[in-house]
């Protein structure tokens, strides 16, 4: 019989600027190793003993009942502690998030380029999730899926935490019809439309994903040419799976890397903080699905445009303004 993992208690700390507190679960078998909670946190966290001691002295690390951890608080096997991190300064992303639709269950956001969907790495406060929680006053808001930081377009957020799993299941079970637009070079030698299938793997810590020759396919994308303007093509991309960087990898496979892509075909220098010129020309244009809570049929379309298609000279030479 499988033993059910104990339920995580609710956080005793409120969000701060739309950001959840960090939570640390304490190993069940740790009492013999760490006499105090302080000892465990110093060894487990990378902040250093001076930072941990200062946070404890200020009462900033708390247990499930809201009581502050002290320097002598005994280790609590299987317990939890919460605290708010001291965040490093972040360069503001100077573009607004559009709201395409909102009801008591979901929010459909129209995300700009350069804004991460959820906190990760050095992007914490400057994320769509944190901004929307603050701007809409919905602290319970959570994502049903994610969009790359460099990709613009539609993202589905869920209002009620208890309903989030139902919307996530739509994406897991491929019950959401998604279409993207991309701008890349036009090549008459590339026969379109085409369906690409391959195995894509991405290793942690490695920027670019890789196609594995001969591997069992785990990624599938339909590619259509929607329009042509001189040397450029506007492409409609329909993914049937959701591998990391799938569309970018498949367009590169065709010899048509998406304009503004810093990873494909070659990894270039990271974009400097505050440099919002020449965004990746990839847009999550539409989402279509049956709402698992209300039963409504939804189709949402992004109001954004790809700048290189509407004004290539502006995209190539001027700071982004979108």
Do residues 225 and 193 make contact, with C-beta atoms less than 8 angstroms apart? yes
- Please tell me the predicted confidence (pLDDT) of residue 271: 60
* Among 309, 319, 283, 242, CA closest to 113: 283
Average pLDDT over the chain, rounded to whole?
A: 92
pLDDT at 322: 45
269 pLDDT tier (thresholds 50, 70, 90): low
Average pLDDT over residues 186-211: 94
Q: What is the pLDDT of residues 82-111, one digit of tens each?
A: 999 988 889 999 999 999 999 999 999 999
pLDDT above 90: residue 258: yes
Q: Which tokens hold the place of 210?
A: 């890789």
Range with lowest mean pLDDT among 33-37, 47-51, 140-144, 149-153? 47-51
User: Mean pLDDT across the stretch 282-293?
Assistant: 98
pLDDT band at 46 (very low <50, low <70, confident <90, very high): confident
Percentage of the residues of the chain whose pLDDT score is greater than 70: 95
DSSP track, 179-192: EEEEEEE--TTS-S
Q: Collapse the DSSP code of 287 into the 3-class scheme (helix H, G, I; strand E, B; otherwise coil) and give the result.
A: strand
Give how far Cα 191 sits from Cα of 140, 195, 219, 231, 274, Å: 47, 11, 20, 16, 39
Q: How far is residue 275's CA from residue 231's CA, in Å, rounded to a whole number?
A: 26
Alpha-carbon gap, residue 126 to 89, rounded angstroms:
10
The reply to whether the predicted model has a pTM over 0.75 is: yes
């Amino acid at each position: 019989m499988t033993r059910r993992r104990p339920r995580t208690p609710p956080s005793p700390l409120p969000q701060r600027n739309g950001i959840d507190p960090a939570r640390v679960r304490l190993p069940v078998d740790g009492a013999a190793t760490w006499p105090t909670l302080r000892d465990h946190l110093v060894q487990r966290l990378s902040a250093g003993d001076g930072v941990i001691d200062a946070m404890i002295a200020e009462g900033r690390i708390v247990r499930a009942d809201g009581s502050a951890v002290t320097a002598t608080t005994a280790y609590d096997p299987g317990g939890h502690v919460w605290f708010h991190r001291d965040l490093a300064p972040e360069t503001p992303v100077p573009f607004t998030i559009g709201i395409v639709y909102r009801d008591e269950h979901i929010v459909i956001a129209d995300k700009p380029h350069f804004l991460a969907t959820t906190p990760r790495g050095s992007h914490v406060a400057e994320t769509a999730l944190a901004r929307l929680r603050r701007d809409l006053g919905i602290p319970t808001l959570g994502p049903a899926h994610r969009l790359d930081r460099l990709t613009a377009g539609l993202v589905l957020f869920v209002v009620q935490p208890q309903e989030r799993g139902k919307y996530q299941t739509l994406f897991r079970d491929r019950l959401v019809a998604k279409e993207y637009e991309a701008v890349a070079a036009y090549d008459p030698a590339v026969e379109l439309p085409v369906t690409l299938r391959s195995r894509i793997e991405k290793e942690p810590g490695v920027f670019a994903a890789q196609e594995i020759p001969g591997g069992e396919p785990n990624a599938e994308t339909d590619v259509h040419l929607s329009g042509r303007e001189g040397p450029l093509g506007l492409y409609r991309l329909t993914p049937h799976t959701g591998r990391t960087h799938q569309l970018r990898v498949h367009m590169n496979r065709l010899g048509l890397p998406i304009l503004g892509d810093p990873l494909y075909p070659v990894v270039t220098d990271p974009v400097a903080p505050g440099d919002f010129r020449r965004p990746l020309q990839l847009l999550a244009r539409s989402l279509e699905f049956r709402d698992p809570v209300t039963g409504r049929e939804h189709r949402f379309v992004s109001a954004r445009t790809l700048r290189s298609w509407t004004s290539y000279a502006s995209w190539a030479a001027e700071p982004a303004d979108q």
